[in-house]
């Protein structure tokens, strides 16, 4: 019996299982590992008593009662310990409001102290209570200026709304200060309320008021409403200034209406209002957004000619735009010009580094980073994130990790975006196990995962087909109060449909409205496409009709998905109906539409009709692509017209379309089916020469031909000996000798086998469960001087595990480790499971302990090993033993994962009850 420690994950799981429904257990944390001594206790208590909250407040209040309190030594000694909540108590309790106010102003001048919203509220409350209104408006203005976030400014507004009476009415200065702060945090709705309230109180707005409102509206793209405010400027007989016109120009640029923006600009010049650098910067940014880079450069020149000095912000967007457009030389020339006028800052270099990395010029980005350091500029987190993104997208993942580790080791702490870049990099490599390590770090030490983090990981798991873990992440996401968004469900729907799990995808689809997310076109298309791929035409059409009723118009991709399933079913009349409906909806068939129809016809043996579609396609100037020709090649070969199919491939190449492995495999299969194996090998050589890599299906077609050739020779020998063979072709599996023959024939035909050839063949054999033949192949490979790759080892190891060939699997594992190949989490899990199934539990436990040293995510271990493997095999007790090992190594999963495990353990235990009853009976 395991000794269960209170506070351990095992204890929690046991405890959770005792109660239904499940409740989160409370965790107790000991902050000290040893008891305090009596001396330490007394000293600590004395110090706490001296500087307790009540004592500090009392001492300050006493000091304020004395003349010349500002020079009081007691007050000076206590002041560094003052916190805003102390000041709030002091101003609230001190007998004299004037002295309390003086103290409030006095303490704010110290460098170590800053008032918070609470202390301002206490001071204002005190003055209102004592009806001392003279300083209230000034304090209110200071309070508004002290707001550092949207939450704080909204809290202040709510506080102001609790007052009534003319004594507390806002002055024009107060209203303007509040509007400026609301604009700073982009709270448009609140600013509009304040503006309307101001007018209702008959407070006459000035130009600053109207300019502030115009600027807020334009930043939010509400230019029409801004124009109404602009008309008030004229109505009040005021003159618009540079700020007014510049704000309007910004608004029009943001809605990409450059004609109107320049109209305002020329009006400004006509009215004799001189533009400033911000005016020009807004126009330059608008031109860059539209890709009009030459005009943007001309405007910079115009600025300089007029004596308006461009700022660093003037250059930042054009520099980035040149990078995004791939104009590296132009960007660097502009940077050189910029340096003659103003010094690039961190944001300038960061924009350049991000732009260069984004278009694949990583070396230039690294050079700019080094130049930045030489210029004495300290890169920020955004700079490092841009470099990490660049390294990840170009496959230099180790360099990305070095930057991450460097950031962690210094004050430049990674933020959520940094983690997201690293996690995305690992997921793009198919290494969600490594990505989860960083996710685990975010959960434990921060920064907290964002919705983007969860979406990246969900997408990573779904790409690998690990759908259960994707669902668990969604559950974890909700538990951690991170609301799924439209993109989360887009990933879930497309991912589950990809792996043929449309029932679960449908559940997610129905769940969306409950979370306040209205399904969009992408969601409908994903599910419709999933139904179509599974041949569920009725479900697809039903959802298609619902989509239209919900006001979500189907796009071309939706029609193509439905046409695909209809054409494969050879429902020609329905195909015509859908096509007509598509045209009625204002959508023209595209290359995918035509190819979908051609593919369906070819698979139904109707290539004549398919070629008629091709003719119509070309008449409509829709250029056939690789998939169009591949479908036709397949159809011709299916009908035994391999020669015609080969001519079609020649036509493809003349049009600059390179055949892929699917096209070549179809053609090889066509000739092999006609008994022309030598032609098949010649096509394989042509395939190699085109740089097209054969897959296992390609080799299988040739093996089928070799087997057929061998059987033909065998039948001739038997016939000559007057014997009859009772074995049919299907009864004979392809032997390893046939693989050797394949490699020999490849060599004869100028297709020298490569490491990739062996990798493809080994993987295929392993998927068929033929691990012994795969072993022989690897042995042959080594005899030819090739080294086995990690992919070959992985294929072998998984195949041995499936066949319960434990010793062979362990041997491959040792070989892989000895050759310094990095182990994947799923490799460890596969080995542990096969050891458990063969009752070699001690070895499994030892391997598990070794696995923990590699710092995998404890959540993923529990999900993938405990829940998906051990519990499904009924290994509850061993599962608990391993959980205890995790705890002893301080590798505890999150509470949500413990809850998941507890539920799964409960299910296993419930299923055991009937078995026990049967035994008793």
Residues 6+ apart with CB under 8 A from 356: 323, 328, 331, 362, 364, 365, 368, 390
Cα 168 from chain centre: 49
- Please check the confidence at residue 50 and state whether its pLDDT lies above 50: no
Give the E-state strand segments of 4-120 in sequence order: none
- Residue 488 · residue 504 · CB < 8 Å: no
Question: CA 856, CA 825: separation in Å to the nearest integer?
Answer: 7
- Please check the confidence at residue 652 and state whether its pLDDT lies above 60: yes
Cα 533 from chain centre: 26
> Which range among 358-362, 530-534, 836-840 shows the weakest confidence by mean pLDDT?
358-362
Average pLDDT over residues 832-858: 92
Q: Would you call 337 exposed, middle or buried from its count of C-beta atoms within 10 A (0-12, 13-18, 19+)?
A: middle
Give the E-state strand segments of 5-81 in sequence order: none
pLDDT in tens, 390-400: 888 888 888 99
804: left (phi over 0), alpha (psi -120 to 50) or beta: left
Average pLDDT over residues 852-868: 91
Q: What percent of the chain has pLDDT over 70?
A: 89
Residue 52: its pLDDT value, please? 62
- Residue 793 · residue 812 · CB < 8 Å: yes
Average pLDDT over residues 760-773: 91
- Please check the confidence at residue 39 and state whether its pLDDT lies above 60: no
pLDDT in tens, 152-206: 999 999 998 888 766 678 889 999 999 999 999 999 999 999 999 999 988 999 9
SS3 at position 814 = helix
Nearest Cα neighbor of 439 from 428, 427, 429, 430 is: 427
517: left (phi over 0), alpha (psi -120 to 50) or beta: beta
- Residue 256 has, within 13 A of its CA and on its CB side, a CA count of 5
Which letter does DSSP use for residue 115 in this model?
-
- Residue 689 has, within 13 A of its CA and on its CB side, a CA count of 8
Nearest Cα neighbor of 225 from 192, 199, 273, 184 is: 192
Question: CA 910, CA 913: separation in Å to the nearest integer?
Answer: 5
Angle between the N-to-C axes of helices 117-129 and 136-145, in degrees from 0 to 180, rounded to the nearest 10: 170
Q: Maximum Cα–Cα distance for the chain, whole Å?
A: 131
| Cα dihedral 603, 607, 612, 614 sign | positive
- Please check the confidence at residue 211 and state whether its pLDDT lies above 90: yes
- Please check the confidence at residue 26 and state whether its pLDDT lies above 70: no
For residues 375, 381, 382, 387, the Cα torsion angle rounded to the nearest 10 degrees is 80
Residue 847: how many CB atoms within 10 A of its CB? 17
pLDDT in tens, 299-341: 999 999 999 999 999 998 998 888 888 888 888 889 988 988 8
- Please check the confidence at residue 782 and state whether its pLDDT lies above 80: yes
Q: What is the CATH architecture of 625-713?
A: Alpha Horseshoe (1.25)
Cis peptide leading into 234, omega within 30 of 0? no
- Residue 674 · residue 707 · CB < 8 Å: no
- Please check the confidence at residue 286 and state whether its pLDDT lies above 90: yes
Between 800 and 19, where is the model more confident?
800
Residue 911: its pLDDT value, please? 73
Residue 253: its pLDDT value, please? 93
- Average pLDDT along the chain: 86
| Alpha carbon separation from 121 to 80, 117, 612 (Å, rounded) | 22, 6, 80
Residue 356: its pLDDT value, please? 87
Residue 724: its pLDDT value, please? 47
Tokens of 878: 């061993």
For residues 834, 839, 840, 842, the Cα torsion angle rounded to the nearest 10 degrees is 120
Residue 630: how many CB atoms within 10 A of its CB? 27
- Please check the confidence at residue 822 and state whether its pLDDT lies above 50: yes
Residues 6+ apart with CB under 8 A from 871: 879, 904, 905, 908
| Alpha carbon separation from 227 to 190, 213, 214 (Å, rounded) | 19, 10, 8
Cα radius of gyration rounded to whole Å, the chain? 37
Q: How confident is the model at residue 719 (pLDDT cuts 50, 70, 90)?
A: low
| Alpha carbon separation from 810 to 799, 844, 847 (Å, rounded) | 12, 11, 10
pLDDT in tens, 234-271: 898 999 999 999 999 999 999 889 999 999 999 999 99
Tokens of 879: 């599962």
Residue 332: its pLDDT value, please? 87
| Alpha carbon separation from 437 to 141, 388, 401, 855 (Å, rounded) | 48, 17, 13, 7
Residue 53: its pLDDT value, please? 61
Residue 250: its pLDDT value, please? 95
pLDDT in tens, 722-759: 554 444 444 445 677 889 899 999 999 999 999 999 99
Nearest Cα neighbor of 94 from 128, 124, 57, 119 is: 57
Q: How confident is the model at residue 33 (pLDDT cuts 50, 70, 90)?
A: very low
Residue 366: how many CB atoms within 10 A of its CB? 17
Between 715 and 180, where is the model more confident?
180
- Residue 758 · residue 750 · CB < 8 Å: no
Average pLDDT over residues 698-713: 89
- Residue 130 · residue 97 · CB < 8 Å: yes
Q: How confident is the model at residue 498 (pLDDT cuts 50, 70, 90)?
A: very high
- Residue 268 · residue 230 · CB < 8 Å: no
Residue 738: how many CB atoms within 10 A of its CB? 17
> Which range among 24-33, 178-187, 444-453 shows the weakest confidence by mean pLDDT?
24-33
Measure CA of the first residue to CA of the last residue in the chain; give whole Å: 28
Q: Would you call 238 exposed, middle or buried from its count of C-beta atoms within 10 A (0-12, 13-18, 19+)?
A: middle
Name all contacts of 119-123 with Cβ < 8 Å and 24+ positions apart.
119/84, 119/85, 119/87, 119/88, 119/91, 120/146, 121/88, 121/159, 122/87, 122/88, 122/89, 122/91, 122/92, 123/88, 123/91
Residue 913: its pLDDT value, please? 59
Between 25 and 361, where is the model more confident?
361
- Please check the confidence at residue 9 and state whether its pLDDT lies above 90: no
Question: CA 85, CA 71: separation in Å to the nearest integer?
Answer: 23
| Alpha carbon separation from 621 to 576, 589, 590, 624, 848 (Å, rounded) | 20, 11, 10, 9, 61
Q: How confident is the model at residue 221 (pLDDT cuts 50, 70, 90)?
A: confident
Question: CA 254, CA 887: separation in Å to the nearest integer?
Answer: 55
Residue 240: how many CB atoms within 10 A of its CB? 21
Q: How confident is the model at residue 422 (pLDDT cuts 50, 70, 90)?
A: very high
Name all contacts of 852-855 with Cβ < 8 Å and 24+ positions apart.
852/885, 852/886, 852/889, 852/891, 854/823, 855/437
Cis peptide leading into 499, omega within 30 of 0? no
The vertex-584 CA angle with 583 and 589, nearest 5°, equals: 10
Question: CA 63, CA 77: separation in Å to the nearest integer?
Answer: 12
Question: CA 539, CA 526: separation in Å to the nearest integer?
Answer: 13
| Cα dihedral 374, 380, 385, 388 sign | positive
SS3 at position 502 = helix
Structural domain spans, the chain: 625-713, 823-913
Tokens of 671: 């000739």
Between 581 and 867, where is the model more confident?
867
Residue 878: its pLDDT value, please? 93
For residues 503, 504, 506, 511, the Cα torsion angle rounded to the nearest 10 degrees is 150
Residue 673: its pLDDT value, please? 93
Residue 412: its pLDDT value, please? 73
Nearest Cα neighbor of 855 from 439, 250, 456 is: 439
pLDDT in tens, 563-615: 887 777 766 667 778 888 888 778 888 899 999 889 988 988 889 989 999 99
Which letter does DSSP use for residue 414 in this model?
-
Q: How confident is the model at residue 448 (pLDDT cuts 50, 70, 90)?
A: very high
Question: CA 905, CA 899: separation in Å to the nearest integer?
Answer: 10
């Amino acid at each position: 019996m395991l000794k269960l420690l209170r506070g351990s994950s095992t204890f929690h799981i046991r405890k959770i299982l005792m109660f239904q429904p499940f409740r989160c257990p409370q965790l107790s944390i000991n902050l000290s590992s040893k008891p305090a001594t009596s001396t330490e206790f007394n000293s600590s208590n004395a110090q706490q008593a001296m500087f307790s909250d009540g004592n500090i407040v009392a001492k300050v209040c006493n000091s304020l009662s004395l003349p010349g309190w500002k020079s009081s030594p007691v007050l000076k000694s206590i002041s560094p310990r003052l916190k805003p909540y102390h000041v709030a108590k002091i101003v609230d309790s001190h007998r004299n409001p004037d002295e309390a106010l003086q103290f409030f102003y006095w303490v704010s001048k110290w460098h170590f102290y800053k008032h918070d919203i609470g202390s301002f509220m206490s001071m204002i409350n005190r003055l209102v209570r004592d009806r001392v209104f003279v300083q209230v408006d000034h304090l209110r203005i200071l309070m508004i200026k002290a707001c550092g976030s949207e939450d704080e400014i909204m809290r202040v507004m709510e506080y102001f709304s609790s007052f009534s009476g003319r004594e507390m009415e806002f002055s024009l200065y107060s209203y303007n200060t509040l509007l400026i702060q609301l604009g700073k945090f982009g709270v448009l709705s609140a600013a509009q309320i304040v503006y309307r309230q101001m007018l209702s109180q008959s407070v006459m707005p000035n130009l600053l008021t109207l300019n502030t409102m115009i600027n807020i509206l334009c930043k939010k793209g509400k230019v029409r409403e801004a124009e109404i405010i602009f008309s008030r400027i004229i109505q009040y007989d005021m003159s618009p200034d540079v700020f007014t016109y510049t704000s309007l120009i910004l608004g029009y640029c943001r809605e990409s209406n450059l004609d109107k923006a320049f109209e305002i600009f020329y009006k400004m010049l006509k009215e004799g209002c001189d533009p400033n650098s911000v005016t020009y910067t807004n126009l330059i940014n608008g031109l860059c957004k539209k890709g009009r880079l030459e005009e943007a450069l001309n405007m910079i020149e115009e600025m300089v000619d007029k004596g308006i000095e461009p700022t660093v912000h003037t250059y930042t967007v054009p520099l980035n735009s040149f990078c995004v457009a791939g104009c590296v030389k132009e960007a660097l020339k502009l940077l050189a010009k910029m340096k003659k006028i103003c010094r690039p800052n961190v944001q300038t270099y960061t924009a350049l580094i991000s732009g260069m990395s984004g278009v694949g010029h990583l070396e230039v980005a690294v050079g700019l980073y080094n130049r930045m350091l030489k210029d004495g500029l300290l890169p920020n987190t955004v700079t490092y994130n841009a470099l990490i993104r660049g390294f990840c997208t170009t496959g230099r993942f180790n360099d990305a990790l070095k930057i991450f580790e460097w950031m962690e080791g210094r004050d430049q702490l990674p933020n959520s975006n940094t983690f997201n870049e690293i996690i995305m990099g690992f997921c793009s490599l198919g290494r969600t196990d490594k990505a989860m390590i960083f996710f685990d770090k975010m959960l434990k030490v921060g920064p907290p995962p964002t919705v983007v983090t969860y979406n990246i990981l969900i997408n990573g798991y779904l790409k690998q087909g690990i759908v259960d873990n994707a669902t668990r992440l969604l559950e974890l996401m909700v538990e951690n109060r991170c609301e799924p968004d439209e993109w989360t469900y887009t990933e879930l729907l497309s991912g589950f449909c990809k792996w043929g799990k449309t029932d679960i995808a449908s559940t997610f689809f129905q769940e969306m409205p409950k979370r306040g997310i209205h399904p969009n076109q992408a969601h409908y298309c994903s599910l419709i496409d999933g139904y179509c791929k599974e041949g569920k035409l009725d479900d697809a059409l039903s959802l298609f009709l619902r989509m239209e009723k919900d006001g979500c118009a189907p796009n071309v991709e939706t029609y193509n998905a439905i046409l695909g399933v209809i054409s494969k079913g050879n429902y020609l009349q329905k195909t015509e109906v859908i096509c007509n409906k598509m045209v009625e909806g204002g959508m023209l068939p595209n290359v995918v539409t035509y190819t979908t129809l051609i593919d369906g016809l070819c698979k139904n043996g109707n290539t004549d009709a398919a070629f008629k579609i091709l003719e119509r396609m070309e008449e409509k100037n829709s250029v056939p692509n690789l998939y169009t020709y591949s479908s036709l090649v397949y159809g011709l070969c299916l009908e035994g017209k391999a020669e015609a199919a080969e001519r079609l491939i020649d036509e493809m190449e003349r049009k600059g379309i390179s055949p892929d492995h699917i096209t070549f495999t179809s053609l090889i299969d066509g000739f092999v089916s006609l008994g022309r194996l030598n032609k098949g090998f010649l096509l394989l050589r042509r395939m190699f020469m085109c740089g097209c890599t054969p897959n296992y299906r390609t080799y299988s077609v040739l093996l089928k031909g070799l087997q057929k050739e061998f059987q033909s020779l065998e039948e001739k020998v038997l016939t000559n000996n007057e014997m009859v063979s009772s074995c049919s072709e299907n009864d004979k599996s392809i032997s390893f000798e046939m693989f050797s023959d394949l490699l020999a024939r490849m060599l004869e035909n100028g297709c020298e086998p490569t490491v990739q050839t062996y990798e493809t063949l080994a993987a295929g054999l392993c998927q068929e469960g033929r691990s012994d033949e795969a072993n022989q192949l690897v042995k042959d490979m080594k005899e030819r001087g090739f080294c086995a790759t990690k992919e070959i080892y992985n294929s072998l190891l998984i195949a041995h595990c499936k066949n319960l060939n434990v010793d062979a699997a362990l041997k491959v594992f040792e070989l892989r480790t000895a050759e310094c190949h990095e182990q994947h989490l799923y490799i460890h899990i596969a080995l542990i499971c096969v050891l458990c199934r063969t009752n070699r539990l001690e070895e499994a436990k030892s391997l598990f302990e070794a696995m923990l040293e590699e710092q995998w995510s404890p959540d993923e271990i529990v999900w993938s090993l405990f829940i998906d493997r051990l519990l499904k095999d009924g290994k509850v007790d061993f599962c608990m033993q391993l959980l205890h090992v995790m705890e002893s190594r301080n590798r505890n999963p999150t509470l949500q994962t413990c809850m998941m495990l507890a539920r799964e353990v409960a299910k296993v235990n419930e299923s055991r009850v009937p078995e026990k009853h049967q035994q008793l009976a």
